[in-house]
A and B are shown apart, each in its own frame.
Chain A
Amino acid sequence: MAEKPKVPVIEGWFTLEPQPSLIGLRCGGCGSYFFPKTQASCINPTCGGGEFEEVELSRTGRIWSYTQNCYSPPAPYVSPDPFVPYTVAAVELEREKMVVLGQVSPDVDVEALEVGTEVELTIGTLYEDEQSEYLMWNWRPVAA
C-alpha cells in the first residue's frame, strides 16, 4: 500500500524544508512581527505604516509556560481514540519579542519541562484520515 501524502494542516503558516519554521510578517515601518500573517497592514497604532516583508520566525525560543491537557477537547480538534493527553507550550521568541503556542512533541515527558527551557520548532503529525497525514508544528526541548 502506498504511503499517505503528508500535508500541512493549514497552508502558508509554516515551512517544512529545509528546516521547519513559522512564516510571519515584519513591518518595515516599526519592526513589529506578526504571526499568523493575517494582518493586511501594521496594527501598531503608533506606526505610520510600512512595507510588509514575509519572514521566517526564530526557530528556537524559551518556554513562557506550559500545561498538559488531560481531557479530549471539542471538535474541530481530532482526538485519537482512545484519547491521549498532550502538552501545550507557550514559547517566547527573543528577537520577535512575542509568544507563540504549540503542542510539545508527544514523546517529550511533561516533567522534563520548565519555564525557561530552550525549545526548537519541529514538525509532527496532528492527525490522519483516509486521504492524508496532517502535519503541524511542535515545540521540542533542544537536546543538551
Chain B
Amino acid sequence: MDEIAVLGVGMHPWGKWGRNFVDYGVKAARDALQDAELDWNEVQFVSGANTVRCGYPGYVSGSTFAHALGFTGAQVASSYSACASGTTALATARAQILSGSCEVALVVGADTTPKGFLAPNQGERWDDPDWLRFKLMGVTNPTYFALYARRRMELYGATARDFAKVKVKNSQAGVNNPNARYRKAFTLEEIEASPVVASPLRLLEICATSDGGAAVVVSSVDYARRHGIANPVKIAGISTVLPRYPEQIIEMPYLATDSAAGTGWPDGGFRDTIPKRAYAESGLGPEDLDMAEVYDLSSAFELDWYEHLGLCKPGDAEKLLNDGETSLGGRVPVNASGGLGAFGEAVPAQALSQICELTWQLRGQSGPRQVQGARAGLCINYGLFGHGSCVILQR
C-alpha cells in the first residue's frame, strides 16, 4: 500500500471541561494546521470522526468542524465507528489522497462526555443489545474488562499486582504528557488501596470518560515534499477490518458469543486479526516496532494487547512487563503517552490522539517521555460492534 505523509498534528488536552465538543476539535485542528504550516483555506478534504453524545452536530462532525473554521467549499465526510472512528476518518482521508481526489486533508475528532459509567441510550430499547445488557444483567463496560482480567489470572497466572504495575508504568508516563488528564504518578499502594469496581479490577485501573480533541493533517508524500518536508512521518498501514465469524471472545455489548459448533474453532480472534492487516500493508512486523500505543481500557487489558500484537507469545505478557521491556527505555515501550489510563476515553478523538503521540515520538519531539531513536510505531484499538482500528507509522 502506498504511504501518505503526516504534515501536522494537534490536540486539545483531555479533561472534564464540560464545554462544547466543537471547541476542542477546532483547537486541535488549528494546532495541527499550525504544526503543518498550512493555511485552513488550503485543506481540500475534511474528515470528521463523529460523536453520538452531542446531538446532531456530532453526527455530521466533518461539516460541524469545517463550519466553525469557516466553510471553504472543500470536500467533506463524517464517520462513526465508536472507538475506531478516528481511524475510519483517517482511512477515508487516505483513500481520497491515494485516489487523487485530493492532496491534503484534515482529520478531526472531539467529544464531550457525561460523568460516570457510559450509559446506554434512553427509553425502552428491547432490540438494542447495548440497552439489554444493562437491563437484563447490569453488565457494565468494566464487567467485560474484569472478565478478561480474571481469565488472564486463571489461564496465565497473572496477578492483581501485575495489573497494578501496568498502571504504575503508564501513570509515570502520563506525568510527562501535557495533554494527559491525569498527571500523577500512582504508587502500587495507592492503586491497591483504590476500591474494587469489578473484581479483580480497581478504580485506578479502569479508564475514565473524558473530554478531548485531536486532529491530524495528512497529504500525499509528493505534496509533503513540495511543501518543504523532505522526511515526513508516514502512515504505512491502516487496518479497519471486521471480525470473522465465529468470534469466541465475549465482546461488548453482547450477552453471548458466536457458536463454533458449525465451523470449529477459528485460528485467532478479532483482536489478533486487527493488526495483521496493518502489518501486511506496511511490510513491517512486531519485531520492527520501536513502540506501541494500545487500547488500555483497563490495566489488565494492556497485557492482552502485547500478545495480540505479537510482541510476545500468549502467556508471556507479564514477563515482558516485569522485565521492563514495555517501559520507557525498554525494548518496545507501550503507552509512552500514558495511555487511556492517563487520558480517559474521548471516543472519536482517541485513535487520532494515538496518531498524534506516534508522530511526535517519531519526530523526536516528546521531551521527557521520548522513546529514543523511535522509527516505527503502531497504535491499536477497536470500536463497539466490530470495528478494527490499527495504524502503523514510520519515518
Contacts and interface: CB of A to CB of B under 8 A. Distances in A.
B150 A115 contact: yes
A29 B262 CA distance: 9
Contacts of B146: 67, 69
B298 to A, nearest CB: 11
A43 B126 CA distance: 21
B154 A65 contact: yes
Contacts, number: 148
A33 B136 contact: no
Interface in A48-92: 64-71, 73-77, 79, 86, 88, 90
Interface string B187-212: 00000000111111100000000000
A103 B138 contact: yes
Contacts of B263: 30, 32, 44, 46
Nearest to A113: B150
B151 A65 contact: yes
B197 A71 contact: yes
A68 B261 contact: no
A114 B154 contact: yes
Interface residues of B, number: 48
Contact of A70 (B119, B151, B195, B265): B195
A38 B254 CA distance: 12
Contacts of A95: 261
Interface in A11-48: 27, 29-36, 38, 43-47
Given A101-B139, A114-B154, A33 B199 contact: no
Contacts of B137: 77, 88, 101-103, 126, 136
B140 interface: yes
A69 B203 CA distance: 12
B256 interface: yes
Nearest to B140: A73
Interface in B245-267: 245-246, 248, 250, 255-263, 265
B245 A75 contact: no
B228 interface: no
A38 B129 CA distance: 10
Contacts of A45: 245
Given A69-B140, A99-B256, A115-B150, A47 B135 contact: no
Contacts of B270: none
* Contact count band on A: 35 or more
A66 B154 CA distance: 11
Interface string B113-152: 0001101100010110001111111111011001111110
B261 A115 contact: no
Interface of A is mostly: loop
Nearest to A115: B154
B119 A75 contact: yes
A109 interface: no
A74 B131 contact: no
A123 interface: no
Contacts of A34: 259
B155 interface: yes
A75 B134 contact: yes
Given A67-B143, A90-B147, A97-B261, A36 B255 contact: yes
Given A67-B147, A97-B260, A110-B199, A74 B155 contact: no
Given A43-B245, A74-B134, A68 B250 contact: no
B379 to A, nearest CB: 27
A83 to B, nearest CB: 10
Nearest to B260: A97
Contacts of B196: 68, 70
Contacts of B136: 9-10, 126, 136
Contact of A77 (B126, B134, B248, B258): B134
Nearest to A35: B256
Contacts of B134: 73-77
Which 3 pairs across A and B sit closest by C-beta, in order of nearness?
Answer: A30-B262, A32-B262, A67-B146
Interface of A: 9-10, 27, 29-36, 38, 43-47, 64-71, 73-77, 79, 86, 88, 90, 95-103, 110, 114-116, 126, 136
Given A67-B198, A74-B117, 15 more contacts: A10-B135, A32-B258, A65-B154, A67-B143, A67-B147, A67-B201, A69-B146, A73-B117, A74-B116, A77-B138, A96-B261, A97-B261, A98-B246, A100-B257, A115-B151
30 contacts: A10-B135, A10-B136, A31-B262, A33-B262, A35-B255, A36-B256, A44-B263, A45-B245, A46-B245, A67-B150, A67-B199, A68-B199, A70-B195, A70-B197, A70-B198, A74-B119, A74-B134, A75-B119, A76-B124, A88-B138, A95-B261, A96-B261, A97-B259, A97-B265, A100-B257, A101-B255, A115-B151, A115-B155, A136-B136, A136-B137
Interface of B: 116-117, 119-120, 124, 126-127, 131-140, 142-143, 146-151, 154-155, 195-201, 245-246, 248, 250, 255-263, 265
